[in-house]
Structure 1
Amino acid sequence: MINSKFWNQLILFVIAILTILLSREYFSDLLIEKGVDSYQIHTFLNIGSNLLLIIVSILLILKNGLSKIAGIKETKLKRWYLLLFPLVYLVLLNLLLIDEINTVLLAPNVLVFAIYALSIGFAEELSLRGFLQSYLIKHLGSTKKNIILSVLISSLFFGLLHIINFDNGFYGELSQIIYATFIGVMFGTLLVVTKRIYPLIIIHAIIDFVGDFETIGLPVKKTVSESGSLENAILITLLISPCLLYGIFLMKKYPIQNNT
């Protein structure tokens, strides 16, 4: 049922996540302006912002009684084999896209990055799938149509969040939105079908760890991406489209209603 409480909680979530992410970008830019480009310092800043997002997400999940829908407790993992595709495909895809691995990989940097990748998995899955998607399902209704709508809305929001720093040019940002949205559809549907969020968190962390492995230890000012081209945006869309198709396939093949 849509009421004022629904909008209050939703607005609170949006304000919280935007405040955390924008603050992270502000302090990161401030550090760079001050000449602080240390990899570890900036990574710890990112970890800190992720921890804040994790805390906010857990509080909102508990406050709104979403633990079961979010797959945090009172549910058992189902159809675990469906998780193999995103893990294998996205890890292989990221490995293929790696340009050059930093040859001076110090163990402390790798450990810090592993913690950071895990914090990303927890922060993004708990906030976007754990709270937002589950919150929409609870209030819009648990029919198949409404669950699909909830997955699509949360996935698009997930995609749009990636333009906050806007450092890749128009086509670069567009490809990031598409990339994140397509993955969001797949992960969101997997949560509904498998009923547990923790495997998605781990898979998300592994994908991010492999995808950004080449940046470990590099000064932050050297990792700013160049403006993306239309050709690259098209290529990324084509490469990531199997994730969207997989999500659609899961929606059609498996019953996803009555999850509350």
Structure 2
Amino acid sequence: MLPGTFEEILIRGGLLAILLYALNASGTRALKAAVISSLVFGSLHFINLAGGQTLEATIQQVIYAFIIGLAFAALYYRTGSIWPGIILHILTDFTGDYSGGTATMMPWHELVMYFGPLLLISLFMLRPSQDAYNAHGLVR
């Protein structure tokens, strides 16, 4: 529960907000901030190699953490709050299948089946969000 809360505060509550402020006002500022913060979020999961997780399982975890990061960024833009992301992150960590710590290797086609649709939906949600965010601030 605590790692997910900390990660959401750090990445969505901190880094994403800093990136939105730091990037030049453009039609793609919100999308760029979401992608950069999600890349950082995914990359943080490389730390699990130190805990004995296999390289392939870690690479998968980095990929799906990046995709989940995009979804949580879109959720943040839509709600103006990090709380929905915190709650979903805690629930995701409780499932055990896709949590921090030692992730298990899944067949690559399952990774695509599970997270491909989430990636597409997240990118779709980020498109309207970036336009509204850049013009008026967070969509509420």
Q: Same fold (TM over 0.5)?
A: yes
Alpha-carbon shift at residue 225 of structure 1 (Å): 5.7
Asked if the contact 1:179/1:237 (under 8 Å) is kept, the reply is: no
User: Partners in 1 of 2:5 and 2:11 — Cα distance?
Assistant: 10
Q: How many residues align?
A: 130
**Larger Rg belongs to:** 1
**1:239 matches 2:114:** yes
**Alignment match, 1:208:** 93
- Summarize deviations over 1:214-248 as a string: whole Å, max 9, x none: xxxxxxxxx9566x3xx623422331122211111
Q: Cα–Cα, structure 1 residues 168 and 236, in superposed 2: closer, same or farther, change >3 Å?
A: farther
Point out which structure has higher relative CO (alpha carbons under 8 A, 6+ apart). 2
Asked if the contact 1:172/1:233 (under 8 Å) is kept, the reply is: no
Q: Which amino acid letter does the alignment assign opposite residue 41 of structure 2?
A: F
Q: Which amino acid letter does the alignment assign opposite residue 149 of structure 1?
A: K
RMSD: 2.3
Map 1:184-195 → 2, pairs under 5 A: 184-195=69-80
Q: Cα–Cα, structure 1 residues 155 and 199, in superposed 2: closer, same or farther, change >3 Å?
A: same
5+ residue gaps, structure 1, are 1-116, 214-222
Alpha-carbon shift at residue 194 of structure 1 (Å): 1.4
Q: Residue 141 of structure 1 aligns to a residue in which SS?
A: coil
**Alignment match, 2:24:** 141
Asked if the contact 1:121/1:205 (under 8 Å) is kept, the reply is: yes
Asked if the contact 1:137/1:150 (under 8 Å) is kept, the reply is: yes
Identity over aligned residues, as a percent?
A: 29
Q: Residue 31 of structure 2 aligns to a residue in which SS?
A: helix
User: Partners in 2 of 1:138 and 1:128 — Cα distance?
Assistant: 14
Q: Cα–Cα, structure 1 residues 142 and 197, in superposed 2: closer, same or farther, change >3 Å?
A: farther
- Summarize deviations over 1:21-52 as a string: whole Å, max 9, x none: xxxxxxxxxxxxxxxxxxxxxxxxxxxxxxxx
5+ residue gaps, structure 2, are none
Map 1:13-162 → 2, pairs under 5 A: 117=1, 119-162=2-45
Q: Which amino acid letter does the alignment assign opposite residue 183 of structure 1?
A: I
- Summarize deviations over 1:29-82 as a string: whole Å, max 9, x none: xxxxxxxxxxxxxxxxxxxxxxxxxxxxxxxxxxxxxxxxxxxxxxxxxxxxxx
